[in-house]
Amino acid sequence: MAHHGEHHYNLDQRFDFTASIKKSILTVLVLGTILLGIGVILAISSGHNEEGAEAGVHVFHWYERLYASLWVNNVFFTGIAIIGVFFFAIQFAAQAGWSAPILRVMLSLGSWLPIAGILMLSTFFVANHDLFHWTHSYLFDTTDPQYDKIIDGKGAFFYWPMEKGTFPVFYIARMVIFFGFWVFFFNKFKQISEQEDQLGGSTHWYKMRSWSAFFLVFFAISSSISAWDWVMSIDTHWFSTLFGWYVFASWFVSGLSAITLIVLFLKGKGYLEMVNENHVHDLGKFVFGFSIFWTYLWFSQFLLIYYANIPEETVYFVERLSSEVYGPFVFVNLGLNFFLPFLVLMTRDSKRHGVFLKLVCTILLVGHWIDFTLMVQPGILGHNGGVGLMELGMFLVYGSAATFTVLGALSKKNLIAKNHPLLEESYNHHI
Amino acid sequence: MERDTHFILGVYDDEDVLLHAVEKVRGSGVKIHEVYSPYPVHGLEHVLGYKRSKLPIAAFLFGMLGISLALTMQYYMMEFDWPMIIGGKDYGAFPDFVPVSFEMTVLLAAFGMVGVFLITSNLKPWAQPRIFDLRSTDDKHVMAIDLATNSSLDLGKIKEILTESGATEVNNKSFE
């Protein structure tokens, strides 16, 4: 309705992180830990250890699967966290008004970033040889029988300015710089938003726009490079020129799903009264649209490789599609991340009602986690991968820890940026 | 004698007044034929009680038709009509068909939607538009009330309701 009535919303509302909510999250955490524990015990006792020992190429150890699982969740949840900050910045760069009451929800996802950075860096230092083939120094030694000319050619991307095969300075520096700047921008946004709460006026909005623009430029580059570094470099020989976008799309859908779920959760608890079905509709459109965008990139990557049929490229899909372990997941991946959101969220009503969105967004989070599992596992584990109790347990542990951090951050400040100049516009948002 | 006039027009200056007027007029039991405005007035179709357009359903059905035609066409061509080995794939390799199927879906959905829209909106090229008041293309909102559908109401009463609702003018209009 175009009637511009008076609005009386409580703008000083804070999210009450009650003991019962904490308890349910901790229950999931405990459940995840138990599953993870059982999974680890099963993996140790399953006797995979001896497999391949005769061949003398590579002996599989149970902990490689644990590391791979850690890495999947490091990358996946880092993505959700940075997408929160990214989507926040997009709202300012696009001068969007509709999203004003849910800006803090987006930004709160970023509170996982510092923890994600520490986890990723430590996982890398513990598990580098088991996760990344290129960390082995013999690949760069021309006298070694396992010398690899192709990886040697790519070596500078990891080791510059040090000698190849020693310490990956360039790689580590990129990881530190990306996380450092992401956390810096996240804190900057938070700080400007808090100042706006106290002082009001439109100067903070303009300030936020400039900072958002800087962040978006940085993010455009860093998101792409982090996808090569953290995911694509696992399959060291292989490369795909749209891989950065592909990972970004997967992150974006997951992040949007997380934002939508938190908004619906808060609304269910009686917060965010000004957020009505029109705002929810917009979030639903983003989830719907970017699920199709993800599919577009997935298929673009697949079709060109499939059609050109060049062995060094097709190996990526051969490893996945013709594997008994991963083959079914490729189709599960497409089913959950494309067909389901496409068909369910096609109608207007399903985007406006929380029930459908809650269902689809939850499934999408699992679906894109499977997508990352499919990107990471085959290159590290070969045919020893899969989604078992260990993987599910790790997913629940990371998921509950990240949820706890994000909700904790949300509860510390007002839920709504009460002096945001476009709040009035968002009250009257109608589509 | 007065019933010879087929339509009564309420002319409004302001869109907010118009929106409230539509509610008031409909609230007093008068059926509105149509409202003409120089630009889209946000929320107008809502207060007029219009049902949501069924155009998306047409789009979906035409899209389904498009994808079916595209897949049938490609499969027939590659498997029966003129089998060719391309890139070492099977004749009827499904991934090859996806881009064309996608484009045909979009094409037929778009064409079908435009066609259905033109037909249901009576926008055929030879249609004679009925112009109630030329100023509705300039700076006035015009509410048309068909007397035939409001035969139970007194003419004077309708005019009174329109004036009360904020109409700056109340005019009669009839067509040949």
**Per-residue pLDDT tens digits for B103-149:** 999 999 999 999 999 999 888 888 888 889 999 999 999 999 998 88
Q: Cα distance from A2 to chain B (closest Cα, Å)?
A: 6
- The residue of chain A nearest to residue B94, with distances taken between CA atoms, is A303
Interface contact flag, B98 A303, Cβ < 8 Å? yes
Residue B12: beta bridge partners? Answer: B141
Alpha carbon distance A200, A177 (integer Å): 33
Q: What is the pLDDT of residue A106?
A: 97
Tokens of B22: 């539509």
Residue A5 contacts B, CB cutoff 8 Å = no
Alpha carbon distance A252, A431 (integer Å): 23
Residue A1 contacts B, CB cutoff 8 Å = yes
Of A214, A247, A209, A218, residue with least CA distance to A231: A247
Helices (H), A58-112: 62-93, 103-108
Q: Cα distance from B175 to chain A (closest Cα, Å)?
A: 33
Q: In chain A, what are the domain boundaries? A: 19-45+61-132+168-427
Between the alpha carbon of residue A350 and those of residues A344, A360, A365, the distances in Å are 7, 10, 18
CATH number for the domain formed by residue range(s) B5-52+132-175: 3.30.70
Q: What is the pLDDT of residue A2?
A: 45
Q: Cα distance from A129 to chain B (closest Cα, Å)?
A: 37
Tell which A residues from 349 to 368 touch B, by Cβ distance under 8 Å: none
Interface test with A, best of B42, B44, B53, B141 (most A CBs within 10 A): B42
Q: Does the pLDDT of residue A403 top 50, yes or no? A: yes
The angle subtended at Cα A269 by Cα A265 and Cα A270, nearest 5°, is: 120
Residues A129-156 pLDDT 10s:
999 999 999 999 999 999 999 999 999 9
Q: Cα distance from B45 to chain A (closest Cα, Å)?
A: 10
Chain A CB contacts of B99 under 8 Å are 303
Q: Does the pLDDT of residue A5 top 70, yes or no? A: no
Chain B CB contacts of A302 under 8 Å are 95
Q: What is the pLDDT of residue A59?
A: 78
Nearest to B95 among A306, A348, A430 (CB): A306
The number of C-beta contacts closer than 8 angstroms across A and B is 30
Q: With contact defined as beta carbons under 8 Å apart, do B23 and B47 qualify?
A: yes
Please spell the DSSP secondary structure of chain B, one letter per residue: -GGG--EEEEEES-HHHHHHHHHHHHHTTPPP-EEE-SSPPTTHHHHTTPPPPSHHHHHHHHHHHHHHHHHHHHHHIIIIIS----TT--TT-HHHHHHHHHHHHHHHHHHHHHHHHHHHTT--TT-----S-GGGGTT-EEEEEESGGGTTS-HHHHHHHHHHTT-SEEEEE---
Q: Cα distance from B103 to chain A (closest Cα, Å)?
A: 13
Question: Is the bond leading into A421 cis (omega within 30 degrees of zero)?
Answer: no
Chain B CB contacts of A3 under 8 Å are 16, 19, 43
Q: With contact defined as beta carbons under 8 Å apart, do A360 and A260 qualify?
A: no
Nearest to A303 among B16, B46, B95 (CB): B95
Q: Can you tell me the ipTM of this complex?
A: 0.84
Task: Give residue A1's pLDDT band: very low, low, confident or very high (50, 70, 90).
Answer: very low
Alpha carbon distance A233, A71 (integer Å): 13
In one-letter notation, the amino acid at residue A132 is F
Q: In chain B, what are the domain boundaries? A: 5-52+132-175, 55-120
Q: What is the pLDDT of residue B124?
A: 84
Chain B CB contacts of A1 under 8 Å are 43, 46-47
Phi, psi at residue B172, to the nearest 5°?
-100, 150
Q: What is the pLDDT of residue B4?
A: 56
Q: How many CB atoms lie within 10 A of CB A163?
A: 11
Residue A302 contacts B, CB cutoff 8 Å = yes
Tell me what the pLDDT averaged over chain A comes to.
94
Q: With contact defined as beta carbons under 8 Å apart, do A224 and A268 qualify?
A: no
Q: How many residues does chain A have?
A: 431
Parts of chain B with a pLDDT under 50: 1-2
Residues A225-278 pLDDT 10s:
999 999 999 999 999 999 999 999 999 999 999 999 999 999 999 999 999 999
Interface contact flag, B42 A430, Cβ < 8 Å? yes
Pairing of strands B34-36, B141-146: antiparallel
Of A389, A431, A425, A401, residue with least CA distance to A98: A425
Interface contact flag, A303 B42, Cβ < 8 Å? no
Residues A294-350 pLDDT 10s:
999 999 999 999 999 899 999 999 999 999 999 999 999 999 999 999 999 999 999
pTM: 0.92
